[in-house]
Amino acid sequence: MAGSQRLKRMADTVQRELSELIRQELKDPRLGGLVTISAVKVSPDLGYAEVYVTVMGRELGDDQNEEANKETLDVLNKASGFLRHELGHRIKTRITPRLRFHYDKTNAYGNYMFGLIAEAVKDLPPADATQKDDE
């Protein structure tokens, strides 16, 4: 149990510090919109951190956005050495995990599902009409 708490604390710390580093230190214009870190999963040996990012203002499904998201991941993965070095200075641990960036599709998938539900519900009669018919 103590190990999982330690991993959770480390993941939270990595997420907080990386967010700040990306916002303040990375000046690459290819990053585009606002890059946010939605989750971090640290391996039990602290050797790796899987970092899940989203870029605000981009939706799943648009080919241009898909390409821009790939470019953003490419920039982040190429800067992972620099980010790991800076992270090591900030968190002061014996081991600083290697960073692997992934695009988090959760928000885009949620928006897609919301659109499907809205499309299905728009053809239904209003709730008031069905209640009056029952009376």
The answer to whether 42 and 48 have CB atoms below 8 angstroms apart is yes
**Could you tell me the residue ranges of all domains in the chain?**
2-105
Q: What is the pLDDT of residues 9-46, one digit of tens each?
A: 999 999 999 999 999 988 888 887 788 899 999 999 98
Phi and psi, residue 38, nearest 5°: -90, -25
Strand partners, 41: 50
The answer to whether 49 and 43 have CB atoms below 8 angstroms apart is yes
| CATH code, 2-105 | 3.30.300.20
Phi and psi, residue 10, nearest 5°: -65, -45
Q: What is the pLDDT of residues 123-132, one digit of tens each?
A: 777 776 555 5
> pTM of the predicted model, to two decimals?
0.76
Average pLDDT, the chain: 84
The answer to whether 99 and 21 have CB atoms below 8 angstroms apart is no
Q: What is the pLDDT of residues 64-118, one digit of tens each?
A: 677 888 888 999 999 999 999 999 999 988 889 999 999 988 777 777 888 888 8
The answer to whether 54 and 33 have CB atoms below 8 angstroms apart is no
The answer to whether 97 and 47 have CB atoms below 8 angstroms apart is yes
